[in-house]
Amino acid sequence: MLILGIWDGHDAGAAIIENNEIKVAVNEERLTRRKLDIGFPVNSIKACLEYLKLKPSDIDVVACCGTQFSRVLARQFPFLDNEFYKFRRRLIPKPRFEKSRRFLKYWLAKHKTSFLKKFTQRQMKRKLEKLGFKDAKIYVAEHHAAHAASAIFTSGFDKCLCITLDGVGDGLSGTINIYENGEVKRIAEIKERDSIGLFFEQVTTILGFRELEDEGKIMAMADYSFPIPDEKNLLLSFFEVEGLSMKAKHGTIKRFLELEKIRWRTPMERFAYMAQKTLEKHALQLFKNAIEETGIKNVCWAGGVASNIKLNRVIRLHSGLKNWFVFPHMGDGGLAVGAALCAANELCGITPKKLDNGYFGIDFDESYIESCLKNYSDKIEYERIDSPGKTAAELILGNNYIFWFRGRMEYGPRALGNRSILAPACSCEVKEMLNLNVKRRTWFQPFCPSVLEEDAEKVFEDYDNAPDRFMTMAYMLKNELKKTYSPIANVDGSARPQMLGNENPEYRKLLETLKRETGVGIVLNTSFNLHGEPIVCSPRDAIETMFKTKTKHMVMENFLVRLKGEGR
């Protein structure tokens, strides 16, 4: 059975799965070049069909999700999505009623009814008909059921506990589920009012960053505060966890106002620290309680909160779990896959399969790439190379950074060695240059490494022999390596590595060549984009980024591309 999953909210996208196998999955942002784009994912649907050479009539079921009032309203009046997008990304001047707009969003997010589910089906049918889907059966998944399905059916666990935590979706901000005997049973729900994800989003906004986008910066900034003891952390009392329930002291709007008052008298890094510790303490307690109550120690999780790698580390080390899995596209961007898996399980019953790679995007054949390169021959020169991994490693060993573009695009927020910028893991000088001149990022955002899985235990003190392929988890560098590898870690020595197995042979070759020279297969790996832009998708996006950043070298498929004239 072929199922097309679609998500039309924040970070919209589409995916096609067959049974429990993800065949292709793309997010709209990569195609429209609007980061975390929102709205009906026309481009992603077309790209998925085209990639698999399918027609709309080949699709058996279309699975979508989201029946909360705000989503239904935006489907009816798509300009609302665009307005919200511009507001959220601060592409318009600060509106006079900024706070009221935000409060309206909180209010709208609460509502969902069964009437809205039927209405959602009608809305989707109409939009799909325009794309040629005549008689597609439409399945509507509930927001958190889709998050849960994304984690469960890619975890490989026969039986597991699955926890979802996010800002808000279909009136909820979290769920606790047991997966057993082919069935997902929800044993607890956390209401929108008690959302710890929304709390973190509010902290992000109040600190002057973009909600739903910059939460990771708050996590990184927290490391720059001196430690604040629990009794002085004014945010800890904002939540209470008892058994499987999480309760917030204030409603969403009151909480925002209270947070503003505390921020007024607190320096920003300390405010970030208090928020991060509040999230860690309460979410950890919830995981602990759930593991204790159910006795299940295989735990998987998803939802926007799961993108907080420092929290994930605390859960991994202190919740009492035995095996863990975080769905790589944990936020709403992963809901297209989640909705499709949810439908597949309900309609034909599937079993969890362990995800072994994240390369579900589209790719470009060599002749197309060469024709693109030819188009820019006034500014670049290129040559065919026999061993892209080896050539790239030699450039990196010469203290250069390079652009690396090969194969299918990654699904999810992390570049995993197909659309990456790579640099020496030990060079502070190259790291500074990358941050200031190439990526143009906020100074306190750390870079991350890719490391051969067999070298992970040499580098990280808390490696637990469960290689993280998808950069979903924080690990601590060994004490003696904190200085050497400071370019790929945060100020406290924590890092978010990709631990590479055999899923990407040419990338492995690159790391193995580095290892032969330096003793460790490790490289700085950051996503191939400029800050605030989506990761590059097409050869053209990549070549133009080369011009914008004056980057000297790029390995693109089996070509070495060089910038003519001055470059970095």
By beta-carbon proximity to Fe ion, the closer residue of 169 and 497 is 169
**255 to 107, 196, 306: CA distances (angstroms):** 13, 11, 22
By beta-carbon proximity to Fe ion, the closer residue of 197 and 497 is 197
Cβ 88 to Fe ion shortest distance, Å: 15
Binding test (CB under 5 A) with Fe ion, winner from 5, 56, 169, 334: 169
Length of the chain: 568
162: tokens are 């699955």
Cβ 354 to Fe ion shortest distance, Å: 23
Round to whole Å and give the CA distance between 137 and 515.
Answer: 52
Cβ 197 to Fe ion shortest distance, Å: 8
**Residues 127-166, interacting with Fe ion (CB under 5 A):** 166
The stretch among 168-176, 204-212, 445-453, 523-531 that binds Fe ion (CB under 5 A) is 168-176
By beta-carbon proximity to Fe ion, the closer residue of 216 and 497 is 216
Interhelix angle 252-264/98-109, rounded to 10 degrees, is 140
Round to whole Å and give the CA distance between 109 and 94.
Answer: 22
Tell me if 325 sits within 8 A of 464, measured CB to CB: no
Binders of Fe ion: how many residues, by CB under 5 A? 3
By beta-carbon proximity to Fe ion, the closer residue of 71 and 469 is 71
Cβ 441 to Fe ion shortest distance, Å: 25
**How many CB atoms lie under 10 A from the CB of residue 419?**
26
For the CA atoms of 145, 409, 315, 141, what is the dihedral angle to 10 degrees?
0
Cβ 196 to Fe ion shortest distance, Å: 13
**Residues 314-343, interacting with Fe ion (CB under 5 A):** 332
Q: In angstroms, how far is CA 488 from the centroid of its own chain? A: 19
**Residues 177-206, interacting with Fe ion (CB under 5 A):** none
The stretch among 6-14, 167-175, 226-234, 560-568 that binds Fe ion (CB under 5 A) is 167-175
Residue number of the CB closest to Fe ion reads 166
Cβ 248 to Fe ion shortest distance, Å: 18
By beta-carbon proximity to Fe ion, the closer residue of 150 and 551 is 150
By beta-carbon proximity to Fe ion, the closer residue of 102 and 439 is 102
Cβ 193 to Fe ion shortest distance, Å: 16
CA within 13 Å, CB half, 342? 27
By beta-carbon proximity to Fe ion, the closer residue of 147 and 310 is 147
By beta-carbon proximity to Fe ion, the closer residue of 142 and 533 is 142
Tell me if 561 sits within 8 A of 373, measured CB to CB: yes
**How many CB atoms lie under 10 A from the CB of residue 262?**
16
Q: In angstroms, how far is CA 3 from the centroid of its own chain? A: 22
Q: In angstroms, how far is CA 347 from the centroid of its own chain? A: 28
**Residues 410-429, interacting with Fe ion (CB under 5 A):** none
**List of residues 6+ apart from 190 with CB closer than 8 A:** 165, 172, 173, 174, 175, 245, 246
Interhelix angle 114-130/69-76, rounded to 10 degrees, is 30
Cβ 302 to Fe ion shortest distance, Å: 8
**List of residues 6+ apart from 456 with CB closer than 8 A:** 463, 467, 475, 497, 499
By beta-carbon proximity to Fe ion, the closer residue of 169 and 352 is 169
Cβ 144 to Fe ion shortest distance, Å: 7
By beta-carbon proximity to Fe ion, the closer residue of 201 and 468 is 201
Cβ 203 to Fe ion shortest distance, Å: 18
Q: Interface with Fe ion includes 28 (CB under 5 A)?
A: no
Q: List residues binding Fe ion (CB under 5 A).
A: 166, 169, 332
